[in-house]
Chain A
Amino acid sequence: MSPRPDVSPDGAHLHRFSRAERWAHRSTAALMGVCVVTAAFLYVPVLAELVGRRTLVVTVHEWAGIALPVPVLAALGSRALRADLGLLNRFGPHDRRWLAAALRRDKRPSSRPAHKFNAGQKLYASWSAGATLVMLGTGLMMWQTHLVPLQWRVGATFVHDWLALTLGVVLAGHIGMAMADPEARHGMRTGWVARSWARREHPLWEAETRWETEKSSS
């Protein structure tokens, strides 16, 4: 079992993210932001004309890309992150219900049961981790031109370009959803979320703390 969430003394707040996790998220977001902005400078003609300095922009893009996995790898030393990765990896029957409701555009909390992470967040985490590594691998093939034969490089360029576009759209979705949910952002900023929010968004997770509170008070 995963460690049960810590509860604030007044019982109104739950601990959602450790300091290491928040810093890993912050650093990854910053590096990803640099990658996206420099990519736009290299790729969109209007912006390329505006910025120029191709050698510099390429260098920044390459090193930001190389560094992208570093924060999460460094934070693997944190038990909280490892526990959360375990939760993200595990799909239960409630995740199937959550996904079915999402596909039906059923937004009622009662039809979207979720533990600490809902099924959408689990898919996003796994997919974006994989996609980031694919971007890193294909990027390396384009950067170190003597590493692999030409045919691979053509394929790498193709994958890098199209996956960049896909990642951009998915990332915009991730940011858009965060913008629409101040309490979720508060959780990532401070580590704590309101119990009322958790009961609505992550009822199975919130229930574990109630069970614990009841047990300890009895």
Chain B
Amino acid sequence: MGRRVFLGTLALGAVGVAAGPHLQRGVEAFLGGASELDPSGLTGLLPNGGGFRYYTVTSSVPHKDENTYRLTVDGLVDRPRSYTLADLRALPQTRMVRDVQCVTGWRVPSTPFEGVRLSHLLDAAGVHPSAGAVHFTCFDGAYTESLTMEQARRADVLVALRMQDKDIGHTHGGPVRLYVAPMYFYKSAKWLLGITVTEKVQPGYWEERGYDIDAWVGRSNGRDDEPTA
């Protein structure tokens, strides 16, 4: 009898794995509805409860504000320079509303991002003809990311200052983060510190740990999510 309970639990687990994708959609729909009626926000803690999850690869991240934040653009460019937050705000702003898709499975629908097109900063710096890629560093001191020059110049790649129509807070990677709309969210590096134009792509933090470098949503990392852009 005890053995039957044991084997039954195992069997239920296997059924759950097989039926998981269907069940997950059902639970997401149900909790999505429930969370709108839930003022405590506790449903957000349940699996598939929606919302962002906080990931950082370091133990602590310094805070940067109006006075201390600088974004540098350097590498294979004619005019390296650094930007303050005010400098970045003075540039033309682009607002986009797309889904955010994390490679671990969670998705946040219709999230507005707003900021300066990366291509704008690259043009302002004057990219050398020999340049083939862009490398990003972050002020958490560990995270890095990369894009090919072609990817970096897309109109849906932003140096984002605002998310969900608010200035980006520290936990979401503020005051400035990268936003790569068509790719899994690990490409959208938080706490953006430096943009370095390079000859070739250098794999980023998670990419050295097995993630795909070309992280198109739905066409990489062995996943088939609905594309976000």
Contact = CB atoms under 8 A, between A and B. Distances in A.
Partners in one complex: yes
Interface of A: 43-45, 48-49, 51-55, 88-91, 122-123, 125-127, 129-131, 133-134, 137-138, 141, 145-146, 149-159, 161-163, 165
Contacts of A159: 13, 16-17, 20
B219 interface: no
Given A49-B54, A51-B59, A165 B46 contact: yes
B40 interface: no
Interface centre among B9, B14, B20, B56 (most CB of A within 10 A): B20
Contact of B13 (A134, A151, A157): A134
B57 A54 contact: yes
A174 B46 CA distance: 22
Interface in B102-122: 104-105
Contact of B20 (A123, A129, A130, A156): A156
Nearest to A45: B54
Query: Most chain-B CB neighbours within 10 Å: which of A43, A125, A149, A158?
Result: A158
Nearest to A154: B21
28 contacts: A43-B53, A45-B54, A52-B58, A52-B59, A53-B56, A55-B57, A55-B209, A90-B1, A122-B1, A126-B4, A127-B6, A127-B9, A130-B7, A130-B10, A131-B9, A133-B10, A134-B13, A145-B221, A146-B222, A150-B223, A154-B21, A154-B24, A154-B105, A155-B17, A156-B17, A158-B20, A161-B47, A161-B48
7 nearest CB pairs, A to B: A155-B20, A130-B9, A134-B13, A161-B47, A126-B5, A158-B20, A91-B1
B57 A53 contact: yes
Place the interface of chain B in its size category: 35 or more
A43 B14 CA distance: 23
Interface in B22-38: 23-24, 27
A157 B16 contact: no
- Majority DSSP secondary structure for residues of B touching A: helix
Contacts of B96: none
Contacts of A134: 9-10, 12-14, 16
Q: Which among A51, A126, A145 has the highest number of chain B CB atoms within 10 Å?
A: A126
Contact of A165 (B13, B24, B47, B59): B47
Contact of A49 (B45, B56, B223): B56
A92 B9 CA distance: 21
A120 to B, nearest CB: 12
A139 to B, nearest CB: 11
A130 B5 contact: yes
B3 A126 contact: yes
Nearest to A130: B9
B133 to A, nearest CB: 24
Given A49-B56, A55-B57, A130-B7, 20 more contacts: A52-B59, A53-B59, A91-B1, A91-B2, A123-B2, A126-B2, A127-B6, A130-B10, A130-B13, A133-B13, A134-B9, A134-B13, A134-B16, A138-B17, A145-B210, A157-B104, A159-B16, A159-B20, A162-B16, A165-B47
A116 to B, nearest CB: 13
Nearest to A51: B59
Nearest to A95: B1
A130 B59 CA distance: 35
A52 B13 contact: no
B60 interface: yes
Contacts of B223: 150
Given A45-B53, A165-B47, A88 B2 contact: yes
Contact of A90 (B2, B45, B209): B2
A49 B58 contact: no
Nearest to A161: B47
A174 to B, nearest CB: 16
Contacts of B105: 154, 157
A48 B20 CA distance: 26
Nearest to A46: B54
